[in-house]
Amino acid sequence: MKNSVITIFEDRATKVSLSQEQIHDLDQMRSIIGKRNLRLDMDGSLQIMHYVGFISKGNTCVQILPKIYEKSGISNDEEIKESMAVLYKMIRYSSFNKVLQLPEKIDSKLLEQDLLEIFIEIFADKVFWTYSSRMHREYIEIDENSSIIRGKIKVPETIRENLIRKDKHFISYQSFEQDNVINNVVKTVILRLLSVSKSKAIRAKLKKALLFLEDARKIDLSLNLLNSVRFTRLNKDFKTVYEMGRMFFLNLQPQNYEGEESVFSFLVPVNELFEQYLYKLFQENGKYQVRYQNKHRFAYSDSGDSLMMVRPDIILEKDGKTAVVVDAKYKNPGYENGTYKNINSSDLYQVYAYSRIYGVDKVALIYPSFDEVQPIKQTIVLKDVQGEYQVFVHSVDLKSDPLSTSLEISKLL
């Protein structure tokens, strides 16, 4: 990892050596991450909660990786590499990958870089291979005053502009141009990334990709401009690089923060990432029909207006009926000597409420595994006047192959 990148683990206080400029930059980052989610103590301990990814401002770049160990004897570099692999895998299984289109297999050497550089290199490769296959051109409407007649002559403009120059005509025509919005956006983003990347090899890739866009222009980017592009069968091959460039500009930050050129980030709520990863694994094993964050209204006023609703993480259905409600928690369940020590009452109350609202007797709490010891499934029985409810508690090893994990959780319920 590069010394210029501060690497920490989500929700773990880490002592770091900071300059006054970096302390100032971190303080500015609070408006993006959230004041309660970034903690910097007097002794230099930095802690960021709830988010993973990266955020860069000025010369300060912070990378937040998912915490996958609580107690581990491995080196810091090895833990960083394993956590990076886990983060990459979870992003691939999330909705964010609709934009990123991350390759399934990645060179292990690439994972030794920070996440920002990984994304930039993938983008540079995508631009190169997309534009080396074919160049994107569009018919552009051009109005100009010319001595060569093509298209149609605009008579009123010709009279107004060429009162003396009778050899010229004001004309309007269409030209098949590389100077269009898609190419201009991609070029502008590449030029910006050249100033962001610290890797000589990656900057070389960006410059190589830039050779295909010599006839495109650097332009001022705005949300309205980015939203104006429509994809059809004629330009769909360029959608991936365009959307990834759009992501780099808009930063995909919490609170939809936009606009400050000096800030660059990709921050994802770690619990949401874990939920989506489990959702995809349940989908892949095919045992159940799976719904993600499906809203369910259960309280109504006398007039029929909805008063309350719930939105569980994952619903597992059999034959069109709810069979199991799953709640995902990205925290250490404290597995020790065959039991989970850190399951609090609020976790149980939540799944108990789901069991009553959905009318099922099976619910599940799933956590990530934070230790080398392979955990086992534990069953907790909740009782009330209505009967008994089974709570299956389990944790999954995020370092494991997704297929193995998918088969494992299919046996869980």
- Give the neighbor-by-neighbor strand order of the sheet with 5-9: 5-9, 60-65, 51-57, 263-269
- DSSP codes of every residue in 293-338: S--EEEEE-TTS-EEEEE--SEEEEETTEEEEEEEE--S---EETT
In a shared domain, residues 328 and 382: yes
For 8-63, the pLDDT digits (tens) are: 999 999 999 999 999 999 998 888 888 999 999 988 899 999 999 999 887 889 99
Q: How many CA atoms lie within 13 A of 385 on its CB side?
A: 0
The answer to the question of residue 263 being in a domain is: no
**How many distinct structural domains can be found in the chain?**
3
Residue from 130, 152, 125 nearest 141 by CA: 152
pLDDT of residue 407: 82
Q: Are 208 and 354 members of one domain?
A: no
Could you tell me if residue 277 is inside a domain?
yes
Please check whether residues 209 and 105 belong to one and the same domain.
yes
Q: Are 26 and 64 in contact (CB under 8 A)?
A: no
Final residue in a domain of this structure, among 223, 251, 279: 251
pLDDT tens-place string over residues 284-304: 888 899 999 888 776 766 666
Q: Assign 276 a pLDDT band (cuts: 50, 70, 90).
A: very high
Q: Which domain holds residue 144?
A: 138-177
Mean pLDDT value of segment 226-252: 87
**237 and 350 co-located in one domain:** no
Give yes or no: residues 238 and 384 share one domain. Answer: no
Residues 246, 355, single domain; the answer is no
Shared-domain flag, residues 284 and 402? yes
Same domain, 392 and 284: yes
Residues 317 and 352 in one domain: yes
The percentage of the chain sitting over the pLDDT mark of 90, rounded to a whole number, equals: 38
Mean pLDDT of the chain: 84
Q: Same domain for 116 and 242?
A: yes
Measured between alpha carbons, how far is 304 from 58 in angstroms, rounded to an integer?
Answer: 54
Say which residue, 87 or 387, is predicted with more confidence: 87
Q: What is the pLDDT of residues 357-411, one digit of tens each?
A: 888 999 999 999 887 666 778 888 988 888 888 999 888 889 888 888 888 887 7
CATH number, domain at 376? Answer: 3.40.1350
For residue 122, what are its two tokens?
């993938």
Which range has the worst mean pLDDT, 82-96, 184-198, 333-347?
333-347
Contact residues for 75 (Cβ-Cβ < 8 A; gap 6+)? none
Say if residue 258's pLDDT is above 60: no
Task: Specify whether 122 is located in the same domain as 154.
Answer: no
Q: What whole-number percentage of the chain has pLDDT above 70?
A: 86
Q: Does residue 13 belong to any structural domain of this protein?
A: no
Same domain assignment for residues 333 and 382: yes
pLDDT, greater one: 151 or 172 = 172
pLDDT at 252: 40
Within a domain: residue 16? no
The reported pTM is 0.81
Which range scores top for mean pLDDT: 152-166, 174-188, 208-222, 362-376? 208-222
Asked if pLDDT for residue 154 goes beyond 80, the answer is: no
Question: In the prediction, which pLDDT does 254 show?
Answer: 37
Residues 261, 171: Cα–Cα separation, whole Å = 39
